[in-house]
Amino acid sequence: MNEKKGLTRRGFLKKGAMVTAIGAVCTTGMVETASAKSGTYATLIDLTKCDGCGNEPIPKCVEACRKENEKKFPDPKEPIKDLWPQKGHDDWSKKRDVVNQLTPYNWTTIQKVDVDGEEFHIPRRCMHCDNPPCANLCPFGALNKYSDGSVVINHDLCMGGAKCKAVCPWHIPQRQSGVGLYLKLQPLPAGGGVMYKCDLCRDRIKKGQVPACVEACEKRLGGKKPLHFGRREEMVKNAHERAREIGGFIYGEEENGGTATLYVSRIPFERIDSKLKETKSNLLMGKVLNPLREVNGWAKGFLIGPLLSALGAIGLAIYHRREGKKKEKE
Ligand code: SF4
Ligand code: SF4
Ligand code: SF4
């Protein structure tokens, strides 16, 4: 059949996949928002007990997280091209050993602050928000909040547009360029890699195990460990008990509408926050309101931008076709 006059069977199937994908976008990631509800599990981090693993080459929780997630880390194709129209790209692949900040190869890190001559160590990772703006605003439906409490990025679907990082109050997700679906769409200005962050060890939770970081910390400190994992209501109860015991404060119960990562501290979080600001970190611990009231106009516009909708649909179509092929092979 003449391509100009009509569609080939292949072209028809492609268009069909696209229409299906547009439908999927409209019914999943694009217009619906993740509901505001807490999940089953949460982590409680007691800042009075973390010593930053000062006597270890790498904090045990960080080491365990890296080992656990090694197989999910990106392996970019060289040369990594600049994103268009910006000049530049994000490449952490030659700095895989960096542990003092969040990167695509390091999903948890320990911040250090000095308050009134006392040193505090703060394990940081995704907060797993009850109402995650990252998932609500991802135009490709690549982020999901699950009933176990985790907020997880689907690396096969992520285009690396980094809108999740822009709307995250703590700027948690980190981008690696040169990997992912966006490579298939070049030279279209779509995305720029894949975003990475802590997934609450969802695969381990499914097997009835605790997250790797919690297990490693317990191996080192036993009952004195600062990291606790369990049912969320129990973690909230424990946080309140501990806060009462030490005359302390809780972070994460209300922030951003509630999160599945809770902190308890003897020092007010406002003070920790101002100390973190002095270090010029953008991983802060300030008050955060419900993000859905704070979403900028541009972000709302982004949700319905027709060009991006179409790009999202193309991305989804490629993903579904690839998944289909995989299943056929199997
Ligand atoms: S949370 Fe535990 S393993 Fe991690 S730095 Fe603190 S004491 Fe070490
Ligand atoms: S902390 Fe940021 S990345 Fe994590 S769930 Fe909340 S908004 Fe998303
Ligand atoms: S829960 Fe898992 S992915 Fe998240 S910081 Fe701990 S070990 Fe890393």
DSSP track, 7-35? --HHHHHHHHHHHHHHHHHHHTTTT----
Backbone CA torsion sign across 147, 197, 171, 247: positive
Residues 84 and 196 in one domain: yes
Residues 19 and 159 in one domain: no
The alpha carbon of 206 and the centre of ligand 3 are apart by a number of angstroms equal to 14
What pLDDT shows up at residue 172?
Answer: 98
pTM: 0.83
What pLDDT shows up at residue 3?
Answer: 32
Residues 38 and 115 in one domain: yes
Nearest CA to ligand 2 atom 8: 134
Answer for the pair 262, 125: CB distance below 8 angstroms, yes or no: no
Over residues 271-295, the mean pLDDT reads: 83
The alpha carbon of 239 and the centre of ligand 1 are apart by a number of angstroms equal to 18
Backbone CA torsion sign across 239, 169, 278, 64: positive
Pocket flag, ligand 2, residue 170 (CB < 6 Å): yes
What pLDDT shows up at residue 325?
Answer: 63
Over residues 135-143, the mean pLDDT reads: 93
Structure tokens at 329: 């092979």
What pLDDT shows up at residue 12?
Answer: 29
Q: Of ligand 3's atoms, which has the minimum distance to the CA of residue 108?
A: 5
Pocket flag, ligand 2, residue 143 (CB < 6 Å): no
Answer for the pair 77, 178: CB distance below 8 angstroms, yes or no: yes
Residue type, 184: K
Residues 139 and 86 in one domain: yes
What pLDDT shows up at residue 323?
Answer: 61
What pLDDT shows up at residue 39?
Answer: 86
The alpha carbon of 42 and the centre of ligand 3 are apart by a number of angstroms equal to 12
Instruction: Give the count of beta carbons closer than 10 Å to the beta carbon of residue 222.
Output: 8
Residues 224 and 242 in one domain: yes
- Strands 41-46 and 261-265, by their bridges, are parallel
Residues 65 and 169 in one domain: yes
Residues 95 and 7 in one domain: no
Answer for the pair 176, 194: CB distance below 8 angstroms, yes or no: yes
Helices assigned H by DSSP within 247-330: 269-278, 297-304, 306-329
What pLDDT shows up at residue 88?
Answer: 81
What pLDDT shows up at residue 193?
Answer: 93
pLDDT, mean over the chain: 83
Residues 221 and 136 in one domain: yes
Q: Of ligand 1's atoms, which has the minimum distance to the CA of residue 227?
A: 1
Ligand 3 binding pocket mutation candidate from 60, 213, 219 (most atoms within 8 A of CB) = 213
Ligand 1 binding pocket mutation candidate from 210, 221, 228 (most atoms within 8 A of CB) = 221
């699950």: which residue's tokens? 146
Q: Which of 53-62, 154-163, 184-193, 235-244 has the lowest mean pLDDT?
A: 184-193
Nearest CA to ligand 2 atom 6: 129
Please write the tens of the pLDDT for every residue from 14-60. 333 333 333 333 333 333 344 456 889 999 999 999 999 999 999 99
Over residues 305-330, the mean pLDDT reads: 56
SS3 288: coil
CA 239/CA 227 separation, integer angstroms: 12
What pLDDT shows up at residue 83?
Answer: 75
What pLDDT shows up at residue 317?
Answer: 58
Residues 277 and 201 in one domain: yes
Answer for the pair 192, 89: CB distance below 8 angstroms, yes or no: yes
Name the residue range of residue 86's domain. Answer: 33-295
Q: Is 210 or 325 the better-scoring residue by pLDDT?
A: 210
Over residues 233-237, the mean pLDDT reads: 97
Cis peptide before 59 (omega within 30 of 0): no
Q: What is the pLDDT confidence band of residue 288, given thresholds at 50, 70 and 90?
A: confident
Answer for the pair 90, 175: CB distance below 8 angstroms, yes or no: yes
Residues 107 and 161 in one domain: yes
Residues 38 and 122 in one domain: yes
Give the chain's domain count: 2
The alpha carbon of 206 and the centre of ligand 2 are apart by a number of angstroms equal to 21
The alpha carbon of 237 and the centre of ligand 2 are apart by a number of angstroms equal to 23
Nearest CA to ligand 2 atom 5: 128
What pLDDT shows up at residue 316?
Answer: 58
What pLDDT shows up at residue 6?
Answer: 32
Residues 315 and 200 in one domain: no
